[in-house]
Amino acid sequence: MEKYTDAHSPSIIVPVPGLIFGPVLEGIHDVVELKCILRTMFLLHRNRTMNGVIKLDDVLEDVIVSKSLHGNNKGEQRAIVERAVDVAVAYGILLKKSFQMVESDEVWLFLNNLANRKLIDRTQKELQLTQPFSVVAVTENSSSKINIFQLYEELIGIITPMIAERLKELEQEYSVSSIEEAFRVAAMHDKHRLSYIEGILRSWKEGDRKNGSRGRRAEKVSIMEIFRRSRE
């Protein structure tokens, strides 16, 4: 007996928004774009662990989509898929969001529902905390040097005279970029204590000594990990 796998299994049921069988079918004129939309819905459904989230590149690299686009070069294939996705977005079926990561931008597709709209919101906020250096390059001698006192108040809490003195001491002991990153890590974990920040800085310094490193680099966090955190 033939073994069914993936979408070929008769037992797999893929929920599809009713809009596809009404306004989309009526308005779409390119059958290949329709194929791309339907396959994207299947890929989103199959990725159940992420509850309706996939990368745009996953659609482009999909075997069924590739077969449907056979005869087009890579640039044309991408244009067709992006056009199909934009149609689905315009009809309110999908959400498309580009997240700026350390090395490149990543485009992700989401089923358009309340949970995923909240996920996009929380992910964007967490990216601003976990990957500050992917957006703005900061140098120690920059004229726009970070004001750690202002940043402390924004991310951690009120500055008392005792905290102000300790921040001055930390500025002498650690680089400003390390202090800023420690603030952001503490804020991400909802730890609003200077002692927690000092512990982070000490552990990084100790790690640099053991590894012979000249300075700590910002930890690379995958977008999948950030999605997972944002759903918690």
CB 130 within 8 A of CB 221: yes
pLDDT in tens, 158-170: 889 899 999 999 9
- Nearest of 232, 226, 229 to residue 97 by alpha carbon: 226
Neighbours of 122 (CB within 10 A): 15
Q: Which residues of the chain have pLDDT under 70?
A: 1-11, 48-51, 101-104, 128-146, 207-226, 228-232
With left for phi above 0 and alpha for psi between -120 and 50, is residue 86 left, alpha or beta? alpha
- Nearest of 49, 54, 13, 50 to residue 36 by alpha carbon: 54
pTM: 0.58
CATH architecture of the domain formed by 6-112: Orthogonal Bundle (1.10)
Q: Would you list the domain boundaries of the chain? A: 6-112, 132-226
**What is the pLDDT, as a whole number, of residue 214?**
40
Report the C-alpha gap between 129 and 188 in whole angstroms.
6
Collapsing DSSP to helix, strand or coil, 30 comes out as: coil
**What is the pLDDT, as a whole number, of residue 222?**
66
Report the C-alpha gap between 231 and 118 in whole angstroms.
9
